[in-house]
């Protein structure tokens, strides 16, 4: 079955006036419909597939923090940290976002090894909390290297994230050096 369609209707759909005498089959109309309606709907659906505030995405954000610190990746840390970020640092002082970025860039929080074990997570609304322990070998010229020498340190940590605009942002952190339990 063939359907004759006036050029005005086709041009309204695809924005191109066909040559006179062109016939349009149902398949052609379906093709035009998919291109004009289906592709934008697929793009909309893809953009709607954002990160959800669940345990898996929270753990992924926490893993990104570990990766960025290990690598000294100031760009990634700047993106991950919320503008109001602050840490109760293992050097026994409170450090805000801009200062932490400077310390990371200067190698003052560098390490020769960092292993994190998450012991618990919780999400309430758009706030996520990650808690556990870490083993870290501070780099010799880092703040912790100067305070503790070259030994591996055990720490307890708490990271607080806030979920905004489809992603987790690190809002606050607490990290305390502890004596290993023997």
- Residues 161 and 157: their CA atoms lie apart, in Å, by 13
Whether 90 and 127 share a structural domain? yes
Confidence at 149, pLDDT banded by 50, 70, 90: confident
Residues 68, 117, single domain; the answer is yes
Tell me: pLDDT of 81 over 60: yes
Residue 138 in tokens? 């501070």
Q: Are residues 71 and 160 in the same domain?
A: yes
Confidence of residue 129 (pLDDT cuts 50, 70, 90): very high
pTM for this predicted structure: 0.71
Domain boundary among 10, 33, 48: 48
Task: Find the domain containing 12 and state its range.
Answer: 2-48
Q: Is the pLDDT of residue 117 over 60?
A: yes
40 plus 106 within the same structural domain: no
Answer yes or no: do 40 and 79 share one domain. Answer: no
Residue 50: pLDDT over 80: no
CATH number at residue 82: 3.10.450.50
Q: 89: helix, coil or strand?
A: coil
Do 71 and 42 lie in a common domain?
Answer: no
Mark whether 77 and 27 lie in a shared domain.
no
63 and 144 part of one domain: yes
Query: Which pLDDT belongs to residue 49?
Result: 52
Please give the share of the chain, as a percent, with pLDDT higher than 90. 68
Tens of pLDDT, residue by residue over 54-68, are 999 999 999 999 999
Do 34 and 99 sit in the same domain of this protein? no
Same domain, 101 and 133: yes
Domain boundary among 48, 67, 83: 48
Structural domains of the chain, count: 2
Residue 20's pLDDT is what? 56
Beta strands, E only, the chain? 2-3, 24-25, 81-88, 94-96, 111-124, 127-138, 153-164, 167-178
Residue 7 above 60 pLDDT? no
Cross-strand pairs, 94: 88
Same domain for 66 and 152, yes or no, is yes
Confidence label for 90 from pLDDT (cuts 50, 70 and 90): very high
Please determine, for residue 142, whether its predicted confidence score (pLDDT) is greater than 90: yes
- Is the same domain home to 20 and 102? no
More confident site: 27 or 176:
176
């Amino acid at each position: 079955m063939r359907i004759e369609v006036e050029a005005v209707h086709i041009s309204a759909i695809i924005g191109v006036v066909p040559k006179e005498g062109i016939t349009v089959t149902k398949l052609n109309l379906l093709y035009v419909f998919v291109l004009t309606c289906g592709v934008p709907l697929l793009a909309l659906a893809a953009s709607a597939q954002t990160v959800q505030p669940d345990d898996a995405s929270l753990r992924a954000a926490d893993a990104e923090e570990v990766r960025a610190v290990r690598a000294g990746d100031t760009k990634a840390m700047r993106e991950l940290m919320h503008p109001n970020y602050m840490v109760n640092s293992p050097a026994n002082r409170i450090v805000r976002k801009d200062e932490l970025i400077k310390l990371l860039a200067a190698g003052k929080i560098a390490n020769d090894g960092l292993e994190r074990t998450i012991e618990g997570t919780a999400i309430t609304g758009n706030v996520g909390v990650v808690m556990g322990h870490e083993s870290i070998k501070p780099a010799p010229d880092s703040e912790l290297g100067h305070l503790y020498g070259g030994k591996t340190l055990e720490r307890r940590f708490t990271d607080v994230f806030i979920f905004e605009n489809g992603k987790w942002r690190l809002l606050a952190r607490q990290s305390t050096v502890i004596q290993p339990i023997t």
